[in-house]
């Protein structure tokens, strides 16, 4: 009888183990189904949100084109902080769009220019001078400035040869624990700086509000859209000849409608005694061609953000040249 009892107990334990295993598998299956369901729902929401963001691109394009036809009578379109464009509510969600002017930041790609044949990027000395001025105005450690300049230059120029000892090419990056190659092409996004030698988190935090990466190597600064919070953008143009206090005064004295001519801007008392070179004058503009549209779709438990880079073309059209979904 004792033996039979032990057998019955063993069978009971086995049955309980089997039941526990079945229940465990069932719970895991339910969790897996639940996870898959949530993933499907998120994919559907992402798809819907993407097309809402595409719709905001159309709204932004119409806004820019309308302003472009009226710019001779209207005040500057955008200061370089983001300006609300549109906001509307959906069932359980809010759709927002805001524009930022990209002609009041330093184009990192201006450190290079196309060679005479138009197929290789080589040094643009004027771009180097302006970038150095900007870093000095931001009080970046002078010991680092040359490293930052030539590190970026080696990253975007078309060759694999060091410009000088301050830079870094493939022979540096391929020896890292997680090796990679230099881009040898224009930056697609200013966030690429994080991959370049000496661009630490502290440096990036200091310079990121002042820089951008446009899809060309040219440089144009809209004097009507520089924020009064960023006199360094004027100090960049005029170097040590212009103090921070004078740059601030110029921005504060800017007419509400903006400067209507470059000569009107240069006639400001703070600039009267400064010799303005032809190259610096050529960098000054009164309007903008590049803008960043920030689209947000937000609900209680979901958010979707996409940045669209727009170019207002001379043909009177707006081209979207880059889209970036922010995770």
Per-residue confidence (pLDDT) for residue 315, from 0 to 100: 86
Fill in the DSSP letter of residue 277.
Answer: P
The CATH code of the domain at 229-282 is 1.10.40
Per-residue confidence (pLDDT) for residue 185, from 0 to 100: 94
Spatial separation of the C-alpha atoms in residues 148 and 100, rounded to whole Å: 26
Please report how the helices 142-156 and 125-137 are oriented relative to each other, as an axis angle in degrees rounded to 10: 140
- Residues of 187-207 as b/e, b for ≥16 C-beta within 10 angstroms? beebebbeebbbbeeebeeeb
pLDDT by residue (tens digit) across 245-290?
999 999 999 998 889 899 999 999 999 999 999 999 999 998 888 9
From 312, 313, 252, select the one nearest 63 (Cα to Cα): 312
Q: Where are the domains of the chain?
A: 52-102+288-327, 106-213, 229-282
What pTM did the predictor assign?
0.82
* Position 33 confidence tier, pLDDT thresholds 50, 70, 90: very low
* Position 21 confidence tier, pLDDT thresholds 50, 70, 90: low
Per-residue confidence (pLDDT) for residue 65, from 0 to 100: 86
Mean pLDDT of 25-49: 60
Is domain 52-102+288-327 annotated with CATH 3.10.20.30?
no
The CATH class that applies to domain 106-213 reads: mainly alpha
Pairing state of beta strands 112-114 and 121-123?
antiparallel
Transcribe 215-270 into DSSP letters. Answer: SSS---EETTS--TT-THHHHHHHGGGS-HHHHHHHHHTS-TT--SSHHHHHTSGG
Measured in whole angstroms, how far is the alpha carbon of residue 175 from the centre of its chain?
A: 28
* Position 39 confidence tier, pLDDT thresholds 50, 70, 90: low
106-213 and 229-282: same fold?
yes
pLDDT by residue (tens digit) across 107-148?
999 999 998 887 889 999 999 999 999 999 999 998 899 999
């Amino acid at each position: 009888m004792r033996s039979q009892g032990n057998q019955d107990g063993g069978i009971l334990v086995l049955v309980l183990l089997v039941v526990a295993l079945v229940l465990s598998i069932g719970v895991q299956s339910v969790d897996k189904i639940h996870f898959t369901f949530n993933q499907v729902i998120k994919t559907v929401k992402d798809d819907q949100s993407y097309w809402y963001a595409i719709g905001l691109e159309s709204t932004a394009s119409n806004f820019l084109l309308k302003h472009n036809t009226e710019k001779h009578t209207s005040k500057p379109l955008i200061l370089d902080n983001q300006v609300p464009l549109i906001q509307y509510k959906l069932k359980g969600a809010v759709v927002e769009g805001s524009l930022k002017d990209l002609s009041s930041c330093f184009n990192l790609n201006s450190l290079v220019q196309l060679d005479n044949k138009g197929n290789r990027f080589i040094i643009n000395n004027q771009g180097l001078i302006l970038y150095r001025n900007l870093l000095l105005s931001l009080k970046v450690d002078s010991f680092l400035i040359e490293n930052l300049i030539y590190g970026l230059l080696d990253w975007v120029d078309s060759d694999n040869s060091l410009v000088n000892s301050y830079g870094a090419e493939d022979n540096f990056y391929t020896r890292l624990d997680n090796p990679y190659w230099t881009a040898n092409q224009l930056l697609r996004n200013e966030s690429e700086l994080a991959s370049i030698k000496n661009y630490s988190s502290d440096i990036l935090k200091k310079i990121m509000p002042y820089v951008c990466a446009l899809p060309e190597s040219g440089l144009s600064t809209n004097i009507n859209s520089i924020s009064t919070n960023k006199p360094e953008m004027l100090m960049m143009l005029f170097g040590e000849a212009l103090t921070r206090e004078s740059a601030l005064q110029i921005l504060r004295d800017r007419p509400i409608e903006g400067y209507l001519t470059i000569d009107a801007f240069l006639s400001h008392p703070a600039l009267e005694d400064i010799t303005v070179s032809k190259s610096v004058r050529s960098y000054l503009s009164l309007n903008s061609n590049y803008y960043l549209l920030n689209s947000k779709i937000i609900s209680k438990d979901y958010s979707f953000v996409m940045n669209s880079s727009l170019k207002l073309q001379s043909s009177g059209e707006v081209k979207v040249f880059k889209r970036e979904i922010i995770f």
